Amino acid sequence: MAEAFPATSMPDRDWWAALWPDPRAVLEALGILPGMTVLDLCCGDGYFTAPLAELVAGKVYALDLDEAMIEMAKAEVARQGASVRKWIRADARDIAAHLTEKVDYVLMANTFHGVPDQPGLAGAVHSVLVPGGLFAIINWEARPREETTVLGRPRGPKTEMRMAPAEVTAIVETRGFKSQAVIELPPYHYGIVFQTL
């Protein structure tokens, strides 16, 4: 039976909004452009899915293992007047079985640190991207959890689970990717954009 990745539970929406008051700006900083076809991998409650769907005019696939998260994401997308091409309830490692086309971009936010088989997941992502396609990972900075406070409380994964950009890059580049950019996403995150070779 598939299980959620460890330490990747969805936080309350209020503190996501405190961290990222403009989620569309985060997406644009990562190089997501109108017209792209995008997979929101491990979409959670739709915090990025809704602005993503608006940005690319509905050319979005959204995948999560948790049916409750998908229902929350659907409601948020509808609330914002956007649309998603297909909602997928599945294990992230099985994405190739659920997409009927290759995509231009895969976004994975705040989840990679908890993936048990990170090289395997990177390989699964590679298999669903068009040639030259992009894969972005948003991660918490590798700082002590006590230093990453939001609304007065420490937030994010345990300190020992956090990954520096070089550590993520070393893993993902073993699966046919090359790092293109590391983008600072203040106050406590970074994004790495990889391109298929």
Is the model's pLDDT at 53 over the cut of 50?
A: yes
Query: Rounded distance, CA 62 to CA 89, Å?
Result: 9
Is the model's pLDDT at 7 over the cut of 90?
A: no
* Residue at token pair 């950009």: 165
* Mean pLDDT of the chain, nearest integer: 93
State both tokens at 82.
Answer: 């956007």
- Mind spelling out the 3-state secondary structure of 25-68? HHHHHCCCCCCCCEEEECCCCCCCHHHHHHHCCCCEEEEECCHH
Q: How far is CA 179 from CA 11, 59, 76, 162, 171, in A?
A: 28, 24, 32, 19, 11
Which residue(s) pair with 49 in the sheet? none
Domains of the chain: 34-196 (3.40.50.150)
- In the structure, what pLDDT confidence band is assigned to residue 15 with cuts at 50, 70 and 90? confident
Predicted confidence at residue 11, as pLDDT, reads 54
Query: Rounded distance, CA 138 to CA 132, Å?
Result: 20
Predicted confidence at residue 5, as pLDDT, reads 53
Buried b (16+ CB within 10 A) or exposed e, 169-181: bebbeebbbebee
Is the model's pLDDT at 8 over the cut of 60?
A: no
Three-state DSSP class for residue 153 = strand
Predicted confidence at residue 34, as pLDDT, reads 97
Predicted confidence at residue 12, as pLDDT, reads 65
* Type and span of the H or E element at 125: helix 118-127
Query: Rounded distance, CA 138 to CA 166, Å?
Result: 13
Mean pLDDT of 109-130: 96
Predicted confidence at residue 82, as pLDDT, reads 95
Predicted confidence at residue 13, as pLDDT, reads 67
- In the structure, what pLDDT confidence band is assigned to residue 4 with cuts at 50, 70 and 90? low
Query: Rounded distance, CA 41 to CA 49, Å?
Result: 10
pTM value is 0.94
Predicted confidence at residue 111, as pLDDT, reads 94
Query: Rounded distance, CA 197 to CA 182, Å?
Result: 18
Predicted confidence at residue 30, as pLDDT, reads 98
Cβ atoms 163, 139 nearer than 8 A: yes
Predicted confidence at residue 178, as pLDDT, reads 98
Is the model's pLDDT at 23 over the cut of 50?
A: yes
- Does residue 19 or residue 138 have the better pLDDT? 138
